[in-house]
């Protein structure tokens, strides 16, 4: 192997090494399969325990609520224990909570267990993002985190299908027991794979504790500007998950047909995560950030024009591709701007913005529907996507060195992000 090729392989080794693949991507896939399997079953379980449709829907929302409530504490936990230990703790907590879901005989027990499951997911999401950021060189950061985002989406996509098969054989609790099983696998893998960031983690644990208030004070300008962009992107993405099923219902499509259209959109969402990451690494974050949100906003705006399965399917495919292009975008931007000394605490607040947006997006659609016009709610969300693109275009160059070629050159780097100097010759 030539010396330049070997150097590139070593540089990429942070996220392409066997330790990273086995210790991050494998557990991420397994853990999210479990989350994907239980997500559609929470409302079903609540209904079987006697809940009304409104209460069942509220309990289903507890997964997201638990995640939002735990985002900031998750950052503090990862900073104190280390990212890898936090992943192990999250797996244990998820196992206990999922067993509670499977064996719940009251709505109270089910609600608490679902809330704790969401909290465990928050800890695991943050810890694996911080861990992968730690072990990956900046030049390959977007590819690493886009791959992480894509793997997570694969898990959430596959989970309901695997869960459906188990539920068919063992009833509703089977989905939770499937999630328990894959989470146990997650724990075993994380525990068995060597920690390639052990030295850095130990150094952070031994450093003086930085209070959250200080993190907010010192980095408040980032959260007040780029954080708004994160919130808007999250809202647009969150709304995408509900506008397709709602518009399918509006058109009077059979539930199975709507589910198929949604599944096709999700499949396309998973196809482009690595090319998108490669573009972000080589050309800059804005080359993906702005087109992704513009295309997603336009495709959502086109939804009210669909009048049949065919047109709805075309719009759904464009939405899936647009969302997939942005896979890993928010994690990459968070990694770009998070200070190494307080990375976990910073990312905890960062994920709070992201998850709050994901929760707020569907509320915008619901508000429009409640006022008598689903189309108005859909168009409002499309407008949010357009605003998100504009805010990203303004704020990303201010905070990320890797926004585009201009910001890289201003920081003393080449346009592709590499350090200046003679290009390596053939080895």
pLDDT at 203: 62
Indicate if the alpha-carbon torsion angle 418, 422, 423, 424 is positive or negative: negative
Terminal Cα-to-Cα distance of the chain (whole angstroms): 8
Are the C-beta atoms of 286 and 393 separated by less than 8 Å? yes
Q: How far is CA 161 from CA 158, 167, 339, in A?
A: 5, 10, 39
CA nearest neighbour of 314 among 268, 370, 377, 345: 268
pLDDT at 61: 85
DSSP one-letter string for 63-106: HHHHHHHHHHHHHHHHHHH-HHHHHHHHHHHHHHHHHHHHH--S
pLDDT at 382: 93
Question: Which residues of the chain does CATH 1.20.1250.20 include?
Answer: 16-209, 210-417
CA nearest neighbour of 285 among 331, 321, 240: 331
What is the rounded distance in angstroms from the CA atom of residue 14 to the CA atom of residue 137? 7
Are the C-beta atoms of 236 and 315 separated by less than 8 Å? no
Are the C-beta atoms of 239 and 296 separated by less than 8 Å? no
Are the C-beta atoms of 226 and 337 separated by less than 8 Å? yes
What is the rounded distance in angstroms from the CA atom of residue 329 to the CA atom of residue 289? 7
CA nearest neighbour of 121 among 156, 91, 79: 91
pLDDT means per 10 residues in the chain (427 residues)?
Answer: 40 57 84 91 89 81 92 90 90 97 94 95 92 85 91 88 88 93 94 72 66 90 96 93 84 80 86 91 94 96 92 93 92 93 92 92 81 85 95 96 92 81 47
The superfamily in CATH containing domain 210-417 is MFS general substrate transporter like domains (1.20.1250.20)
CA nearest neighbour of 67 among 121, 10, 4: 121
Q: Which CATH class is domain 16-209?
A: mainly alpha
| Beta carbons within 8 Å of 35's beta carbon, 6+ residues apart | 63, 117, 121, 155, 156, 159, 179
**pLDDT tens track for 333-363:** 999 999 988 888 999 999 999 999 998 888 8
């Amino acid at each position: 192997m030539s010396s330049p090729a070997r150097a590139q392989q070593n540089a990429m080794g942070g996220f392409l090494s066997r330790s990273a693949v086995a210790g991050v991507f494998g557990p991420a896939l397994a853990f999210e399969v479990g989350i994907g399997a239980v997500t559609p079953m929470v409302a079903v379980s609540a209904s079987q325990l006697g809940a009304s449709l409104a209460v069942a829907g509220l309990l289903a929302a507890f997964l997201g609520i638990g995640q939002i409530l735990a985002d900031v504490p998750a950052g503090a936990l990862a900073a104190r224990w280390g990212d890898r230990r936090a992943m192990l703790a999250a797996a244990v907590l998820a196992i206990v909570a999922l067993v509670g879901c499977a064996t719940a005989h009251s709505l109270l027990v089910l609600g608490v267990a679902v809330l704790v499951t969401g909290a465990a997911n928050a800890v695991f999401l943050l810890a694996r993002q911080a861990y992968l950021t730690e072990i990956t060189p900046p030049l390959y950061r977007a590819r690493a985190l886009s791959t992480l985002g894509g793997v997570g989406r694969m898990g959430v996509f596959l989970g309901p299908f695997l869960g459906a098969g188990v539920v068919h054989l063992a009833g509703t609790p089977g989905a939770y027991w499937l999630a328990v099983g894959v989470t146990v696998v997650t724990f075993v893998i994380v525990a068995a794979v060597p920690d390639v960031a052990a030295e850095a983690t130990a150094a952070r644990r031994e450093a003086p504790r930085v209070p959250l208030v200080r993190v907010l004070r010192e980095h408040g300008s980032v959260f007040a500007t780029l954080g708004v962009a994160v919130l808007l992107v999250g809202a647009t993405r969150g709304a995408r998950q509900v506008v397709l099923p709602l518009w399918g219902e509006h058109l009077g499509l059979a539930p199975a047909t709507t589910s198929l259209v949604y599944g096709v959109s999700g499949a396309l969402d998973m196809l482009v995560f690595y090319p998108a990451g490669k573009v972000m690494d080589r050309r800059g974050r804005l080359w993906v950030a702005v087109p992704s949100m513009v295309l997603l906003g336009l495709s959502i705006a086109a939804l009210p024009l669909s009048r049949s399965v065919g047109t709805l399917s075309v719009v759904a495919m464009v939405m899936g591709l647009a969302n997939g292009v942005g896979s890993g975008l928010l994690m990459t931007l968070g990694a770009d701007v998070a200070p190494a000394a307080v990375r976990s605490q910073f990312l905890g607040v960062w994920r709070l913005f992201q998850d709050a947006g994901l929760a707020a997006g569907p509320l915008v659609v619901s508000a429009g529907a409640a006022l008598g016009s689903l189309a108005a709610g859909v168009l409002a969300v499309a407008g949010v996507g357009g605003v998100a693109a504009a805010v990203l275009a303004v704020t990303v160059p201010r905070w990320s060195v890797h926004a585009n070629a201009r910001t890289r050159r201003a920081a003393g780097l080449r346009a592709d992000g590499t350090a200046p100097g003679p290009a390596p010759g053939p080895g």
